[in-house]
Amino acid sequence: MEKDVVQIRCLSDNERYADLINGVVFGGRQVVHGEDIREMDSQTGLWRAFPGKKTVKTGKKFRDLIRKVAMGVNFTVIGVENQDKVHYLMPLRAMLYDAAEYERQASRFRKRVKADRNITDAEFLSGFKKTDRLHPCVTLVLFYGKEWDGSRDLHGILDFTDIPQELRGFINQYPMHLLEVRKLQNTEIFCSDLKQIFDFIRMSEDKKGLKRLVQGDAAYQNMDEDAYDMAVAYTNAAELIAVKEFHRKDGKVNMCKALTELIEEGREEGREEGREEGIIGMIRDNLDRGTAREEIAEKLCRYFGMSSDRAWEYLNEICPAKLSDR
C-alpha cells in the first residue's frame, strides 16, 4: 500500500482530523468536532501579480491534507504533512506551505480591492484594505520514522558562522510543529482510533509488547479498515496486509485475531529471519504438530500469497508427498 494514500484516506475522516487537532494542539481537550471541519483544495502555490498581466499562480504543489477548521465565527486553516523519513528541509517546506496559504488568501482580497472605488491609495497599492484580515494557518508534521535528527526550526538549517548575535535575533525562527509518532508517551489524548493506530506503530518493534497491546485493547478486535491499513502501512507488516481479507467483515477488521494467528504460526520470527526461512519454519512446525498437508498448503497461500502449486512445491521439498496425499 502507498503510505501517503493510506494516510490521506484515513485522516480525511473529519472525526479523526478533529481528534488529531484536539490531541496535538489542545492536549486532548475536545475543542474541535467533526462538523467543524471543511474540505479545501489541497493544491497550493504562490500567487503573483505582474504589471499589465493577470494574477498567476507559480510553484504549484499539493498538500497531503489541508482543512478549514471552524472556530466560532472565524476559522483556521490547518494542514497535515506526513513523513516516514527525515526531510532536512522540512522547516523551510512548512514555512513555505503556510506562506503559500496566506498568499492564496491575499490574492482573493486583491481582486475585490482593485474593483472597489472607495479605497485609499495605500489600500489600492497593497491590494488589501486596512480592515482586512487573513485567516490563521498552521501546518502539523507527523513523523512515523524512528528518530527525527533534523532541525525543528529555520535557524537549524541556517549558517550563522560569524553572524553577530544581535543580527541573529532579527532573523525569524519559524518553529516547525512536529509530532514524532513512535515517541508518543500519552496516546490517551486521542479519543478516536488514532490512539490504536499510533499505539500500534510505536510498539511495532516490540513483539511481546505489541501482542500485549493488541490483546489488551478490545478496539483492535473491530478496527475500521482505513485505520487498520494505516497502522499496518507504517510498520511494514506485509503479512498483516496479506491476511486482512480473512479477518474483515462489514468494513471492520479483527487485528487481534490476525496478529495472534501470525505470531502462533511463527510468522514474526519468519519475518526477521527472512521470507524463505519463515516459510520453511512454518511448514516444519505444522508437520510436527500433525497438521494436515492440505491445511498447511492453504495457510501458505493465505499468509504468503502463494499459488496452490507453489505451496505444494514447498511442502514436497520439505517432506515429499505420497501419491495419496494429493
Coil, helix or strand for 223?
A: strand
Contact 196, 227 (CB under 8 A): yes
Q: Per residue in 115-141, pLDDT tens?
A: 888 899 999 999 999 999 999 999 999
pLDDT at 297: 86
Whole-number pLDDT of residue 268: 47
pLDDT digits (tens, 9 = 90+) for 26-58: 999 999 999 999 998 776 655 454 445 555 555
Place of cell 558562522: 161
β-bridge mates for residue 74, sequence order: 71
Cβ(84)–Cβ(234) under 8 Å? yes
What value does the mean pLDDT take over residues 317-322?
70
Count of CB atoms within 10 A of residue 248's CB? 15
Q: Could you tell me the pTM of the whole model?
A: 0.75
- CA gap 61, 80 in Å, rounded: 14
Residue 279's pLDDT is what?
79
Q: Map residue 179 onto helix, strand or coil.
A: strand
Which pLDDT tens digit goes with each residue over 259-290? Answer: 877 666 654 454 445 567 777 877 887 888 78
pLDDT of residue 1: 53
Going across the sheet that includes 248-249, the strands are: 223-224, 252-253, 248-249
Tens of pLDDT, residue by residue over 54-107, are 555 555 667 889 999 999 999 999 999 999 999 999 999 999 999 999 999 999
98's grid cell: 503556510
CA triple 84-262-243, angle to 5 deg: 70
Take residue 300 and report the three cell numbers written for it.
501458505
The winner for highest mean pLDDT among 118-132, 148-162, 206-220, 294-308 is 148-162
**pLDDT at residue 211 in the model:** 85
